[in-house]
């Protein structure tokens, strides 16, 4: 795991911008139309999702492997 | 201070300075321009700011911004400009921003007769913006009173956090008199209201004080207030609640109406034995006063009533008068505006006769004297 | 995760904001607070946010400063009053294409002309969003709006050219897609002493994109990515290649000129009131 997500679902309006601009297809909208980290293992923590989220609902941080252990 | 030859409009500028006004935004318009010119000259001498804006709406906007930043502010115009300012007069009422707007009235509607006197904006002063709102309007009849009422207007704007209209007319605006202005220590100044709580103590900018007026913090003092023209609750943020909307509109009115006795000023003379009286205001009152004196010299029992405060209207005082006299003449330089208010307040207890003039010229005393003679013959008495 | 430091600039109890799903205004608002955060000396106590009326102008309510939501088109006069009353305050104006260039057009050009020290950020969504999609002076030719159901025939303003011609001393454009670039130019604009103007192109999927069949929010942003050309590249582009919907972004104009409050200070010095 290279990244840690923090989702503020009460802010998410399901616009799909983060899904569209994720270069690794990590994100999907769930059946209720909110953001869902479907493939966390593919994430490269580039931050494109957070950058363009108009609702400040998704945050992603790089996590060092050692820190995880 | 020694006596000085001065114009009504100049006295407004001097009065504003004495009242602590340190910001003026305006746009040139006859017959009010001398106020802007006076402020342009005076304000930079005392560290104040004068700015000529691109239009009348901007002139209102700029003074409201300065008022929110803590300055006492003034703007001045005449009917056509006031028509434009109406948008932000409403904003000032809704957001409760202290501001004084001078209207040196000229003949309207529209461009009308730009250099000729009129008192045709009485109802505009009351209702000149959309929606329910309350207002204060004062009308001076002399140069010295232009100075004094400017100070009073600024004080009321600050005390009640409301727009106040100084309802001048071209007669008084351009009248030159030798006046002795009050000394600085004779002038009472109402300071800007300040918050009584800190943010940490749960300060809310629009929580009304005991007098129903909120203590909205000035910008730049760390309170992080939000100001909007939308109907808002005590936090200052918009509210869609019917209850809050109704409470807000009620408070807007009641903060003024509760203080009506303090605000309403009516000057009377020759009233002790008067059987009829002439009601007038502003420049017209000068002619009315002479007409009353001339009629007295002829042995007629005529009194003189001058409305210093136009809005809120002097309902109680007129109602009392109507019970004492047989008739009231309302002399006004328009087709008939304040007469409706007098009729309403008199409530049928005496005759109410309109003496109107709207031909660009001011009243001659004889015209009002004729109206006095006619009313006396209609209601009896002498 | 540690909370993002810019979150302190938002009134948390007002979020989530009222903008539609995918609206670009939220992106531009974040760019503004991130730019402010980088300015030493700019605090929540000495920075005032002023807005007009419209979708863009609801931003002021979400930002934890002294904030002023004025009347339609009037943000610049109010902001002028604040700045001249207290020149030590930093004043930022948030406006929209209708607010700034239609009903507030006169105030806009005169603010530029005076070089009042304000930073004006226009959220250009090409439409009146709040009232449901009427044409604005920045709706492109041929695009549809409820008041231009057959396509707009009104030639649009280039607000940046307008600002430059009127005397603004910092003029730049960016987009919601280029959010880092947008944040950077806002930072530069905050540094400029004088009237700074930034046009931030933002997507309005609800009232503009849908009616003009541009697609969902991400597609509108992809359009920005594909059509925006950086100023340097744009200048080298031959005219025959400046075609279709291509448009330049970046810094267009910058000048050093005395600001209005500096000039007025000289007036006070002449009049003898500068120290009062």
pLDDT tens-digit series, residues B79-120 = 999 999 999 999 999 999 999 999 999 999 999 999 999 999
Structure tokens at C40: 């030493």
Distances (CA, A) of B231 to A1, B89, B184, B243, C69: 50, 15, 40, 11, 12
Residues of B in contact with C109 (CB under 8 A): 54
Contact B44 C271 (CB under 8 A): yes
Burial of C26 (0-12, 13-18, 19+ CB in 10 A): buried
pLDDT in the model for residue C1: 67
Query: Which regions of chain B are under pLDDT 50?
Result: none
Structure tokens at C268: 């006070």
Q: Among residues C262, C122, C104, C139, which one has the least CA distance to residue C196?
A: C122
Neighbouring CB atoms inside 10 A of C233's CB total 11
pLDDT in the model for residue A64: 77
| Degrees, nearest 5: CA angle A27-A33-A38 | 25
Structure tokens at C35: 């730019």
Task: Choose the closest CB to C78 out of B46, B64, B226.
Answer: B64
- Cα–Cα distance measured from residue B48 to residue C86, given in angstroms and rounded to the nearest whole number: 11
Chain C residue whose CA is closest to A3: C1
pLDDT in the model for residue B1: 55
- Cα–Cα distance measured from residue B35 to residue B147, given in angstroms and rounded to the nearest whole number: 12
Q: Compute the nearest-CA separation of C209 from chain B (Å).
A: 28
To which H or E segment does residue B374 belong? helix B365-379
- Cα–Cα distance measured from residue B227 to residue B155, given in angstroms and rounded to the nearest whole number: 22
- Residue B53 DSSP code: -
pLDDT in the model for residue A66: 59
- Cα–Cα distance measured from residue B140 to residue C262, given in angstroms and rounded to the nearest whole number: 38
Q: Among residues A62, C106, C12, which one has the least CA distance to residue B27?
A: C106
pLDDT in the model for residue A63: 87
- Cα–Cα distance measured from residue C96 to residue C118, given in angstroms and rounded to the nearest whole number: 16
Question: Does the ipTM exceed 0.95?
Answer: yes
- E strand segments, chain B: 4-7, 21-26, 49-52, 72-77, 99-107, 113-117, 136-138, 163-169, 176-179, 226-228, 266-269, 276-280, 302-307, 309-311, 327-332, 351-356
pLDDT in the model for residue A69: 46
For residue A2, is pLDDT > 90?
no
Which of A18, A54, A59 is the best substitution to test chain C (most C C-beta atoms within 10 A)? A54
- Using CA atoms of B225, B223, C191, B52 in order, give the dihedral in degrees to the nearest 10: 60
Task: Choose the closest CB to B66 out of C71, C85, C272.
Answer: C85
Contact C84 B220 (CB under 8 A): no
Touching A: C residues 20-79, CB under 8 Å: 20-27, 30
Touching B: C residues 42-101, CB under 8 Å: 44-46, 48, 50, 60-61, 64-71, 74, 76-86, 88-89
- Cα–Cα distance measured from residue B303 to residue B289, given in angstroms and rounded to the nearest whole number: 9
- Using CA atoms of C266, C270, C275, C276 in order, give the dihedral in degrees to the nearest 10: -110
C267 touches chain B (CB under 8 A): yes
Structure tokens at B125: 């002063």
Q: Among residues C203, C8, C176, C168, which one has the least CA distance to residue C76?
A: C168
- Cα–Cα distance measured from residue B268 to residue B305, given in angstroms and rounded to the nearest whole number: 5
Q: Among residues B93, B82, B73, B91, which one has the least CA distance to residue B32?
A: B82
Contact B51 C80 (CB under 8 A): yes
Query: Which regions of chain C are under pLDDT 70?
Result: 1
Quick one: fold of A3-68?
Alpha-Beta Plaits (3.30.70)
pLDDT in the model for residue B382: 58
In contact, C63 and C49? CB cutoff 8 Å: yes
For residue A1, is pLDDT > 90?
no
User: In order of start, what are the domains of chain B with their CATH numbers?
Assistant: 4-186 (3.40.50.970), 266-379 (3.40.50.920)
Contact B226 C89 (CB under 8 A): no
- Cα–Cα distance measured from residue B88 to residue B85, given in angstroms and rounded to the nearest whole number: 6
Residues of C in contact with A52 (CB under 8 A): 27, 176-177, 179, 221
User: In order of start, what are the domains of chain C with their CATH numbers?
Assistant: 23-271 (3.40.50.970)
Residues of C in contact with A61 (CB under 8 A): 1-2
A65 band by pLDDT with thresholds 50, 70 and 90: low
Touching C: B residues 50-109, CB under 8 Å: 51, 53-55, 57-71, 73, 87-88, 91
- Residue C19 DSSP code: S
- Residue B323 DSSP code: H
> pLDDT by residue (tens digit) across B309-346?
999 999 999 999 999 999 999 999 999 999 999 999 99
Contact C176 A13 (CB under 8 A): no
Chain C residue whose CA is closest to A17: C218
Structure tokens at B84: 């434009």
């Amino acid at each position: 795991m290279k990244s840690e997500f923090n989702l503020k679902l009460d802010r998410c309006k399901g616009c799909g911008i983060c899904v569209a601009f994720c270069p690794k297809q990590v994100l999907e909208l769930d059946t209720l139309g909110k953001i869902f980290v479907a493939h966390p293992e593919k994430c490269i923590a580039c931050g494109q999702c957070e950058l363009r989220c108009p609702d400040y609902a998704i945050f992603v941080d790089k996590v060092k492997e050692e820190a995880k252990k | 201070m020694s006596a000085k030859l001065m114009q009504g409009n100049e006295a407004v500028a001097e009065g504003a300075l004495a009242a602590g006004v340190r910001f003026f935004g305006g746009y040139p318009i006859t017959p009010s321009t001398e106020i802007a010119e006076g402020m342009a000259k005076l304000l930079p001498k005392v560290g104040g700011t004068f700015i000529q804006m691109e239009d009348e709406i901007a002139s209102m906007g700029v003074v409201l911004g300065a008022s929110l930043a803590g300055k006492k502010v003034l703007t001045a115009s005449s009917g056509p400009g006031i028509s434009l300012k109406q948008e932000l007069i409403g904003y000032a009422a809704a957001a409760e921003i202290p501001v004084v707007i001078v209207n040196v009235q000229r003949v309207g509607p529209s461009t009308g007769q730009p250099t000729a006197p009129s008192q045709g904006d009485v109802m505009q002063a009351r209702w000149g913006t959309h929606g329910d709102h309350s207002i204060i309007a004062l009308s001076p009849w002399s140069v010295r009173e232009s100075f004094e009422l400017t100070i009073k207007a600024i004080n009321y704007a600050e005390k009640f956090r409301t727009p106040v209209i100084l309802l001048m007319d071209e007669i008084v605006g351009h009248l030159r008199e030798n006046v002795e202005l009050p000394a600085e220590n004779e002038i009472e100044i109402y300071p800007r209201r300040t918050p009584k709580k800190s943010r940490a103590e749960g300060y809310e900018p629009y929580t009304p004080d005991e007098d129903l007026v909120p203590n909205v913090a000035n910008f730049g003092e760390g309170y992080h207030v939000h100001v909007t023209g939308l109907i808002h609750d005590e936090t200052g943020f918009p509210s869609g609640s019917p209850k809050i909307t109704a409470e807000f509109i009620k408070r807007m009115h009641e903060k003024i109406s509760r203080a009506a006795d303090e605000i309403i000023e009516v000057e009377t003379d020759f009233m002790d034995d008067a059987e009829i009286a002439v009601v007038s205001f502003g420049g017209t009152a000068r002619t009315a006063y002479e007409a009353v004196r001339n009629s007295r010299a002829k042995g007629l029992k005529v009194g003189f009533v001058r409305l210093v405060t136009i809005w809120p209207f002097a309902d109680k005082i007129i109602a009392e008068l109507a019970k004492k006299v047989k008739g009231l003449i309302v002399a006004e330089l328009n087709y008939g505006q304040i007469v409706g208010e007098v009729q309403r307040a008199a409530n049928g207890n005496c005759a109410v006769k309109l003496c109107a003039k709207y031909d660009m010229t001011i009243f001659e005393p004889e015209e009002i004297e004729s109206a006095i003679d006619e009313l006396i013959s209609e209601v009896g008495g002498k | 995760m540690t909370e993002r430091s810019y979150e302190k600039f938002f009134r948390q109890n007002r979020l989530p904001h009222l903008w539609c799903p995918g609206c670009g205004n939220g992106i531009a608002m974040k760019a503004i607070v991130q730019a402010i955060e980088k300015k030493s000396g700019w605090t929540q106590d000495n920075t005032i946010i002023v807005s007009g009326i419209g979708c863009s102008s609801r931003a002021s309510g979400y930002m934890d400063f002294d904030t002023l939501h004025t009347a339609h088109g009037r943000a610049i006069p109010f902001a002028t009053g604040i700045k001249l009353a207290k020149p030590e305050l930093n004043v930022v104006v948030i406006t929209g294409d209708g607010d700034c260039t239609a009903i507030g057009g006169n105030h806009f050009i005169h603010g530029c002309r005076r070089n009042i020290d304000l930073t004006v950020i226009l959220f250009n969504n090409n439409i009146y969003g709040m009232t449901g999609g009427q044409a604005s002076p920045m709706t492109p030719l041929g695009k549809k709006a409820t008041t231009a159901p057959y396509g707009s025939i009104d030639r649009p303003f280039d607000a940046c050219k307008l600002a430059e011609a009127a005397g603004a001393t910092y003029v730049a454009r960016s987009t919601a897609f280029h959010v880092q670039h947008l944040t950077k130019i806002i930072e530069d604009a905050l540094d400029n002493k004088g009237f700074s103007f930034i046009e931030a192109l933002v997507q309005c999927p609800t009232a503009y994109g849908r009616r003009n069949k541009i697609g969902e929010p991400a597609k509108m942003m992809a359009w920005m990515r594909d059509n925006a050309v950086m100023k340097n590249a744009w200048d080298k582009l031959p005219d025959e290649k400046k075609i279709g919907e291509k448009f330049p972004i970046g810094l267009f104009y910058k000048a050093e000129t005395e600001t209005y409050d500096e000039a007025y200070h000289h007036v006070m010095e002449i009049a003898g009131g500068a120290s009062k």
